[in-house]
Amino acid sequence: MADRISSDHPSVQTVRSTCTETATGVRLEVPADDRDAFPTDEVVRVVLDGDECFARIERALTGDDLSVPGIYETPDEARDPTGATDRLVDWIDGHSVSMGGSVLIDVIEPEFLYGLRSPGETVYYDAREPPSSSLQDIASDLEEQ
């Protein structure tokens, strides 16, 4: 069983993002100062209310900011969200986050596992190590086939 870690644990870095509205839903804007905590154009795991989902971290169209344009059930949906359900929209609604409001992104394991929470909320995550690079390579090869 994985260890549990709280969002206020000293090993968890927290980044304050801004919820913005888009033509198709919402996105989380990550300030340029915090971009080192995220891989660009990679799919990562994101915990929403205890559910592990997937998101692709993208470079914003302007400036050095990053964004999370949506959160999805599978890595494939995060890569190509056409026809997929964006879980971020429901999460924003369920947590009463307003447009322009803050969403905290917890960096549980850099470049692998992140979590979302509302400001002032404490969340507990299942902390675990990312797979070794050789296992990731095998998984990537299988996904591409």
- Could you read off the pLDDT of 73-124 as tens digits, one per residue? 999 999 999 999 999 999 999 998 999 999 999 999 999 999 999 999 999 9
Around Cβ 95, how many Cβ atoms within 10 Å? 17
Tokens of 99: 């447009």
Q: Model pTM?
A: 0.85
- Residue pLDDT, tens place only, 113-130: 999 999 999 999 987 766
Q: Per-residue b/e over 62-87, b at no fewer than 16 CB within 10 Å? A: eeebbbbbbbbeebebbeebeeeebb
